[in-house]
Chains A and B, each alone.
Chain A
Amino acid sequence: MIEVRQLSKSFGGRPVLREVNLTMEEGKTLVVLGRSGCGKSVVLKHLIGLLKPDAGCVLVDGEDITGLPERKLTAVRRKIGMLFQSAALFDSMSVERNLAFPLRELGMTDEREIDARVAEALDMVGLGGEQMKMPADLSGGMRKRVGLARTIVGRPRCVLYDEPTTGLDPITTDSINHMIRRLQRKLRVTSIVVTHDMKTAFHCADRVALLHEGRVHFDGTVEELRASKDPVMTDFIEGRSGETD
């Protein structure tokens, strides 16, 4: 569904991505791993045209989106939902209005249908009945769940998750991991999860890619990842920095 070819991007002269190649298969979950600041989120933002690459291209359903102007990206973006690292809820709107927003933008006008879709999405993330709360009243985990509900309420074909479990406690992390898997099975969406959390990677992934020094260092299945003897891979999986006390 989505293909990244030879993607390169620099910020302030510092190369962040160097000729990255990735393929996301329809209905599968790809987990992109890497250390903080290695460019994982940058890859994700290129997939819906939030960033323009210096070189290379992104193909969505065979269409190159890299040269498309902002207004022509609308059709592509409506196929893809994105859960932002901070959830990016609109803080001036209640939970209900946050979820109704993408539906109204899709042209839905029937308020009863909107209410039903909002309630269904909140039920899916385990927050049924929380419609009237404001984002400021929610905990970090709840914000992520509402963000996820807003992402899926428009029934996208593909969901991008930017660090979905960062900063959450282990129980909430486990709950979000299950939710990602459940949504993928239930809605049959293509999922791309950017994380540095190995638990999330092992739980959610059909395939794993590891970004290292701006390049794709590894691209394979979870079993291949576990079996790898590559020191970069093993250090990352086991969380070894190489430093001593």
Chain B
Amino acid sequence: MITALGRTTMESVQYLGQLGLLTWETVKAMFVAPIRWRLVLQQIIEVGSRSQVVVAVTGVFTGAVFAAQIYFQFQRFGMGTAVGSVTALALFRELGPTLTALMVSGRVGAAIAAEIGTMKVTEQVDALRSMGVHPIDYLVVPRSVALIVSMPLLVAEACAFGIIASYVIAVQMLGVAEAPYLRYLNNYTHPSDVAIALIKGFVFAVIIACVACHEGMETANGAAGVRRAPTRAVVISSLSILGMNLVLTFALNIVFPSSR
């Protein structure tokens, strides 16, 4: 058992090292090689624009369900009007970034791993290298930049749709008074909450890009490898997002304390 634990630890450290190396190579490539803006734009359309529906729907249902649950619990203490502010805080600080990242990891991370993985096993990555094109410049940088640009915007979109849904559920359906709902929402939601959402979106984008590109670039063993790459990319990036969210929650609470 100790041997197995040791082996798992070693493999995890090795994996983290590989991710760190890929991140370093990607950051370095952004400065030493020209960024292929046309590819970045294509990827922003693929990663950002085409993820909007899934992210908006996630935001709507999360905001709606959360607003309903908060109302059911809070109205017992006569605090039903706090639904808006509590939902907004939860969406900006936790639910918006985390759920958006999990959805994007499933939709985009899997696609990136499968696409690069297929290129790897069909020698297309080697063909790029044989033409003097660095795969990091051509494949990893455009996808990473696109994710880093798109994710904070997608998080903002999910939060916005969540808050609108919460308003519809609380005010239109459950009969919460509109004026106090909006006053609490305005008084207790601060720019720092939005900043937390955007920072988390940025960090989660880095995680999805690194894990998905790494899984793609390390794909081997033909079709079986291509089948495994997206699964691994989604599982590893999802778990990393959840773990990193805990770390960020504590770290960002120091930077943006909630007791204001």
- Residues of A bordering B, CB below 8 Å: 45, 48, 50, 70-71, 73-75, 77-78, 80-82, 84-86, 88-91, 101-102, 105, 154
CB–CB A50/B130 < 8 A: yes
| Residues of chain A lying within 8 A (CB to CB) of residue B127 | 82, 84, 88-90
CB–CB B122/A71 < 8 A: no
Contact of B132 among A77, A84, A86 (CB under 8 A): A77
Contact with A along B121-145 (1 / 0, CB 8 A): 0111011011111100000000000
CB–CB B123/A105 < 8 A: no
- Distance (Å) between the CB of A98 and the closest chain B CB? 9
25 contacts across the A-B interface (CB closer than 8 A): A45-B126, A48-B130, A70-B129, A71-B32, A71-B33, A74-B132, A75-B132, A77-B129, A77-B132, A78-B132, A80-B130, A82-B127, A82-B130, A84-B126, A84-B130, A85-B123, A86-B122, A88-B122, A88-B123, A90-B127, A91-B122, A91-B124, A101-B131, A102-B131, A105-B131
| Residues of chain B lying within 8 A (CB to CB) of residue A154 | 131
SS class, residues of chain A in contact with chain B:
mixed
| B127 closest partner in A (C-beta) | A88
CB–CB B124/A88 < 8 A: yes
- Residues of B bordering A, CB below 8 Å: 32-33, 119, 122-124, 126-127, 129-134
CB–CB B126/A73 < 8 A: no
| B118 closest partner in A (C-beta) | A91
A82→B125 CA distance, assembly (Å) = 13
| Residues of chain B lying within 8 A (CB to CB) of residue A45 | 126
Known: A82-B130, A88-B126. 17 other contacts (CB 8 A): A45-B126, A70-B129, A71-B134, A75-B132, A77-B129, A77-B132, A78-B132, A80-B130, A84-B126, A86-B123, A88-B127, A89-B124, A90-B127, A91-B122, A105-B132, A105-B133, A154-B131
- Distance (Å) between the CB of B252 and the closest chain A CB? 37
Residue from the set B122, B130, B134 with the largest chain A CB neighbour count within 10 Å: B130
| Residues of chain A lying within 8 A (CB to CB) of residue B133 | 105
| A90 closest partner in B (C-beta) | B124
- Distance (Å) between the CB of A119 and the closest chain B CB? 20
- Distance (Å) between the CB of B130 and the closest chain A CB? 4
| Residues of chain B lying within 8 A (CB to CB) of residue A75 | 132
A74→B32 CA distance, assembly (Å) = 14
A74→B130 CA distance, assembly (Å) = 8
A75→B131 CA distance, assembly (Å) = 10
A16→B231 CA distance, assembly (Å) = 32
Contact of B130 among A71, A77, A90, A91 (CB under 8 A): A77
| Residues of chain A lying within 8 A (CB to CB) of residue B129 | 48, 50, 70, 77
- Distance (Å) between the CB of B133 and the closest chain A CB? 6
- Distance (Å) between the CB of A189 and the closest chain B CB? 15
A88→B124 CA distance, assembly (Å) = 5
| Residues of chain B lying within 8 A (CB to CB) of residue A88 | 122-124, 126-127
| Residues of chain B lying within 8 A (CB to CB) of residue A90 | 119, 124, 127
A34→B211 CA distance, assembly (Å) = 39
Given A45-B126, A50-B126, A70 and B131 contact (CB-CB distance below 8 Å): no
- Distance (Å) between the CB of B102 and the closest chain A CB? 27
Given A50-B129, A77-B129, A70 and B134 contact (CB-CB distance below 8 Å): yes
A91→B124 CA distance, assembly (Å) = 9
A88→B130 CA distance, assembly (Å) = 11
Closest 3 CB pairs of A and B: A74-B132, A88-B127, A88-B123
A80→B130 CA distance, assembly (Å) = 8
| A48 closest partner in B (C-beta) | B130
- Distance (Å) between the CB of B37 and the closest chain A CB? 14
| B135 closest partner in A (C-beta) | A70
| B29 closest partner in A (C-beta) | A71
A238→B127 CA distance, assembly (Å) = 34
| A101 closest partner in B (C-beta) | B131
| Residues of chain B lying within 8 A (CB to CB) of residue A50 | 126, 129-130
